[in-house]
Amino acid sequence: MARWPQGHIDGPDAKPAFKYELGTLLQGIDDVYLNTADIRYLNYMKSAVDELVTADGAIPTYKPREKELDSMLMGRELLRLYKMTQDKRYLTAATLLYEQFQKQPRTPSGGFWHKQRYPNQMWLDGLYMAEPFYAEYASLSHQPKEFADITKQFALVADHMCDAKTGLLYHGWDESKEQRWADKKTGLSAEFWGRAMGWYMMALVDALDYYPAGDPGRKELLAILDREAAAIIRVQDGKSGLWYEVLDKGRAKGNYLESSGSCMFVYALAKGVRRGYLPGHYLANAERGYSGILKHFIETGPGGEVSLTGTVKVGGLGGEPYRDGSYAYYLSEKVVANDPKGVGAFLMAAPEMEQVRHMR
């Protein structure tokens, strides 16, 4: 909070923007608040959101024409504030985001495009950006029929982007098979990017919180979660307990242990156990991962300030300059300290570990 007053993650002089990086950080802050009941965390989250939402519920920096799923993530903070304050401007803003789902372009199979400028593409990242908010809004507004569509988004990824041999998920899928990064037979990108799978795992455990007990999709998502949990522990590093930037190539030249994906996996495994979505034996993997995070990625400066190191700055497909999804590409992106995506994921993982340990 001292590093980024009022959520100014791009610097004190930069204009605040409605973006997923901030949403990830605020979700972590929110989880810390729920675990501590310390009002400072809620006030921080509220001050960051209030800079982006007007008195009548408009969001000036939101760009609906871009049809990007990334913006949807901030909807969760809007719903949290509405539930806590009953201030209707937050619900108005959340409804504005929700309406994008009705207009979002879709692949021939019915999957949401990741963005308007990425036609017929599903990325793992997009599941976290969209589905937990979609599920929470559907639950809050008593629209149980929406869960069939939410389940479809997860199922399309599970059916088309899963490697039969390892169970791991490829980063992207171009259903049209037209992108240069896409395999001409499958439409899949080439590698298993750690943070991409982390987004998907977190999306599963967070969306499941809002599923009606009797919804048939709930059983389907639980099966997917168990399969992917089994897949990620098979590539968990035996020595450090962490996960690599490219998941299945831990011994390959240039690959490295990466903090944001490791935090996301710890969060998903720990929450999955705590909520009864996963068997209890996965807690041991979460424990090993969390210990590795504290040992390898947490640094304390001379003034007592804490930093999270080892976070890859970004990862994507296509665009300009062009990102081909190759092994060399993922290793070419900058690795930084105190990236909001990594910090947010750590702030989600830590309270989960504290809560699940108290269950013993």
- Largest Cα span, the chain: 55
Whole-prediction pTM value? 0.98
B/e letters for 256-283, b = 16+ CB within 10 Å, e = fewer, are ebbbbbbbbbbbbbbbbbbeebbeeebb
Question: What DSSP designation does 100 have?
Answer: H
As a whole number of angstroms, the distance between CA 115 and CA 5 comes to 30
The residue type at 42? L
- Do the beta carbons of residue 67 and residue 116 sit within 8 Å? yes
| Bridge partner residues of 172 (DSSP) | 123
Question: Please, are residues 250 and 243 in contact by the beta-carbon 8 Å criterion?
Answer: no
Q: Which ranges of 8-74 does DSSP label H, i.e. alpha helix? A: 20-36, 39-50
Residue 125 is among the residues annotated as catalytic for this protein: yes
Choosing from 30, 31, 70, 125, the catalytic residue is 125
Written as tens digits, the pLDDT of the chain (360 aa) is: 999 999 999 998 888 899 999 999 999 999 999 999 999 999 999 999 999 999 999 999 999 999 999 999 999 999 999 999 999 999 999 999 999 999 999 999 999 999 999 999 999 999 999 999 999 999 999 999 999 999 999 999 999 999 999 999 999 999 999 999 999 999 999 999 999 999 999 999 999 999 999 999 999 999 999 999 999 999 999 999 999 999 999 989 999 999 999 999 999 999 999 999 999 999 999 999 999 999 999 999 998 999 999 999 999 999 999 999 999 999 999 999 999 999 999 999 999 999 988 876
DSSP calls for 68-80:
-GGGGGGHHHHHH
Domain with CATH 1.50.10.10 in the chain: 112-358
Cα atoms in the 13 Å half-sphere on the side-chain side of 256:
18
Q: Would you state the structure tokens that stand for residue 127, as one six-digit string?
A: 């599941």
Three-state SS for 354?
Answer: helix
Residue 88: count of CB within 10 angstroms of its CB: 12
The listed CATH number (1.50.10.10, 3.30.530.20, 1.10.10.10, 3.30.565.10) that belongs to domain 112-358: 1.50.10.10
